[in-house]
Amino acid sequence: MPQMSYPAHVRATLVLGLPLIGGQLGQFLIHVTDVVMVGWYGVPDLAALVVANSIIMVLILFGSGFAWAVMPLAAAAAEAGDDLVVRRVTRMGLWASLGFAVLTVPPLVFTPDLYGLMGQPPRVALLAGQYFAIAAWGVFPALIIMVLRSYLSALERTQVVLWVTLASAVANAGFNWVLIFGNLGAPELGVRGAAIASILTNLVAMAGLAVYARWREPQHEIFVRLWRPDWSALRRVLRMGFPIGVTTLAEVGLFSAASIMMGWVGTEALAAHGIALQLATAVFMVHLGLSQAATVRAGRAYGRGDVGHLRRAALVAAALSLVVALVTVAVFLAVPRPLIGLFLDPAEPQLPAIMAIGVTLLAAAALFQVADSVQVMALGVLRGVQDTRVPMIYAAISYWLLGAPVAYLLGFTAGWGGVGIWVGLAFGLACAAVLMLRRFWWYIVPGLERAEGSPARPAFVM
């Protein structure tokens, strides 16, 4: 096909990516609504929510590796007009994701005093355990949602992902208002109400995406005879999805470990960390939406062997993400106090202490914005060309052999506290960014250029 100009690439990326960004921000809005409303309810409850959600998000994002594997596999198959492969990988993505949930959720739910064992303050550990015992079961519908989003995104049906997610965010706010505070005659359940609201919200989103997929893409029949195994497709999803899950686990686990370390610093530090993390996560959702658009566009270019299209699409996605990162740095440094104030009751007695810690954490968060944007975009295009094993190794090295030790040493040995922990996060992300960029531009692109015009494709997935 004729090469697209760079402005055309920008338009194509934004047409595909803006709904995905909106969907990611809508998903984030669900989480931030929980944080804000529970923060209004009480600071110990907020700290408990932050700690409990750190484990739940690890489960969801690791399990989502199998869902994210569906996106490049289905995109390449759709580009080739192979509806059978689209159906097979989507079904087995559901199998793999739900199988992961069955293996991981029950053991954690029934572990006595899980958060006490992690060294959290007694009150926080009690509330976190109450929240987790309910909310963890929402991992099952959440993973189904991730598979359906990947399937629809691969088909470039991104608008519905946006609208269903926004509707779910509105529903979540309503469920929280009723169940946390005991409105409309409901019992006042506090943090347990937030957990129930999360499950109800996931069920709403799952139903919306499933109905749409069945209505708009009936030729794929992804829910027909779902109980029948397809071992070949399942192996493809597992082989590609497991490294994606481990890569995600390495990064998200680093931030979860930071939340646990913040609990060792104190309740105010943990609450401030939770707020700063929510703000950083909001920006990350923009990068993630662009990264998913890059995955779909790279997957389609890979499916037809168009290396020139792949190169330009990668450059444009990286440039758009870099612009977002630079704007974020300016905002975090210029107006930290109003941003932090959005999450707390002005009458909260611990407000001054949380605000002081939060301002320094946002300054540290500004440090890693560029590195974070680079690494997530590089991961997106690498997944598009179905390269997942080596990025998994790079992520493990960057986040756990480098980032986590530096966070601990600066936070506790050097006595920097919360700021030191966040500087360690920035260091890990910067290492990952360098390694992922080198992988794509020095190995993947030259390998594809050598194979261009050949019916064979380089086998990057192992």
Tell me which amino acid residue 316 is: V
Q: What does the pLDDT average to over 296-312?
A: 87
* pLDDT averaged over every residue in the chain: 87
Among the listed residues 82, 87, 69, 57, the one whose alpha carbon sits nearest the alpha carbon of residue 251: 57
Q: Residue 399's domain spans which residues? A: 14-451
Contact 262, 424 (CB under 8 A): no
H helices present in 219-368, as ranges: 231-265, 267-304, 307-334, 336-341, 351-367
Contact 443, 459 (CB under 8 A): no
Q: What does the pLDDT average to over 211-238?
A: 88
pLDDT reading at 21 higher than 80: yes
The number of residues in the chain equals 462
Q: Where residue 457 falls among pLDDT bands split at 50, 70, 90?
A: low
Residue 461 lies in a domain: no
Q: How many CB atoms lie within 10 A of CB 288?
A: 23
pLDDT reading at 253 higher than 90: no
pLDDT reading at 24 higher than 50: yes
What's the gap between Cα 174 and its chain centre? 24
Tens of pLDDT, residues 363-393: 888 877 888 899 999 999 999 998 999 999 9
The two three-digit tokens of residue 444, written as one number: 């993947």
Q: What does the pLDDT average to over 265-286?
A: 83
Residue 219 gets the label, from left (phi > 0), alpha (psi -120 to 50) or beta, of alpha
Among the listed residues 132, 112, 106, 119, the one whose alpha carbon sits nearest the alpha carbon of residue 48: 132
Residue 303 lies in a domain: yes
Report field, pTM of the whole predicted structure over 0.75: yes
Tens of pLDDT, residues 72-110: 999 888 888 888 889 999 999 999 999 999 999 999 888
Residue 27 lies in a domain: yes
Tens of pLDDT, residues 323-370: 999 999 999 999 988 888 887 777 767 778 888 888 888 888 887 788
pLDDT reading at 28 higher than 90: no
Q: pLDDT at position 452, please?
A: 63
Q: pLDDT at position 254, please?
A: 85
Residue 296 lies in a domain: yes
Rounded to a whole number of angstroms, the CA Rg of the chain reads: 21
Give the residue, 381 or 459, on which the prediction is more confident. Answer: 381
pLDDT reading at 440 higher than 70: yes
Non-local CB neighbours of 448 within 8 Å, separated by 6+ positions: 302, 305, 307, 310, 385, 457, 458
Number of domains in the chain: 1
Residue 456 lies in a domain: no
Contact 247, 392 (CB under 8 A): yes
pLDDT reading at 117 higher than 60: yes
pLDDT reading at 1 higher than 70: no
